Amino acid sequence: MTGKLITLEGGEGAGKSTVLDTVRAALVAHGVEVVVTREPGGTPAGEAIRAVLLDPRLRGMSAETELLLMFAARAQLVREVIRPALAAGRWVLSDRFTDASYAYQGGGRGQPATRIAALEAWAADGVRPDLTLLLDLPVVEGLRRANGRGEADRIEMENAQFFERVRDAYRARAAAEPGRFRVIDAGRPLAEVLAQVQGAIAEFLARGGVPA
């Protein structure tokens, strides 16, 4: 028996962390055993890499270094957490995964999609989500929410144009894979966002946990 991988994606301040408990609760209520993780991070090595990636003192980091560090953390997460959990029949719920690299390092930084795809096949061992909830909202609103949390990390220090490219890249990926993605209108009041999320999970479970 193999489990399923569900990922939460979106720009800064989209509300991924806020909706995560609702997703987990919906899966547990369905009798699913869930492992929750996040990217970059989710393992001791990955969390150490995350600290480097988000350190605001490291603003000179090259796009190539950033991309490789994202996949270094992901390589560890796949082998230490995701693969073993799926093999044991558990479901994995991850706050971000490889789509974030296509959006941020691809759309935001201009790294070629072919390069990211090669890393996805090698470092991420070809692991792909079964369902991805994309929390989409205008960049200005997301940054307003994120800024309310205090000091910006290295990536949050980018300008609005960067985050517009990130959003465009996410939306393009969702349009290209409508069977895997569910786009959530994250600009709505929280109760409405949670209702959309619950609907998407219920639909996925009703399909037996396979992409549409």
- Following CA atoms 91, 92, 98, 104 in sequence, which dihedral angle do they give, to the nearest 10 degrees? 140
Give the position of tokens 């692991």.
127
- Check binding of 18 to ligand T5A (CB under 6 A): yes
Segment near ligand T5A (CB under 6 A); pick from 12-20, 57-65, 110-118, 196-204: 12-20
Q: Is 2 in the site for ligand T5A (CB under 6 A)?
A: no
Region near ligand T5A per CB under 6 A, out of 56-64, 85-93, 101-109, 175-183: 101-109
Residue selected from 4, 96, 173, 180 as contacting ligand T5A according to rule CB under 6 A: 96
11 CB contacts (<8 Å, ≥6 apart)?
103, 136, 137, 139, 142, 163, 166, 167, 170
Binding residue count for ligand T5A, defined by CB under 6 A: 26
Other Cβ atoms closer than 10 A to 188 = 14
- Binding string to ligand T5A for residues 104 to 143, with x set by CB under 6 A, is what? xx--------------------------------------
Q: Which of 3, 4, 7, 12 binds ligand T5A (CB under 6 A)?
A: 12
User: CB of 43 within 8 A of CB of 80?
Assistant: yes
Among 23, 27, 34, 40, binds ligand T5A (CB under 6 A): 40
CA-to-CA distance for 173 and 163, rounded, in angstroms? Answer: 15
13, 155 in Cβ contact below 8 A?
A: no
Binding footprint of ligand T5A on the chain (CB under 6 A): 10, 12-18, 38-40, 70, 95-96, 100-101, 104-105, 145-146, 148, 155-156, 189-190, 193
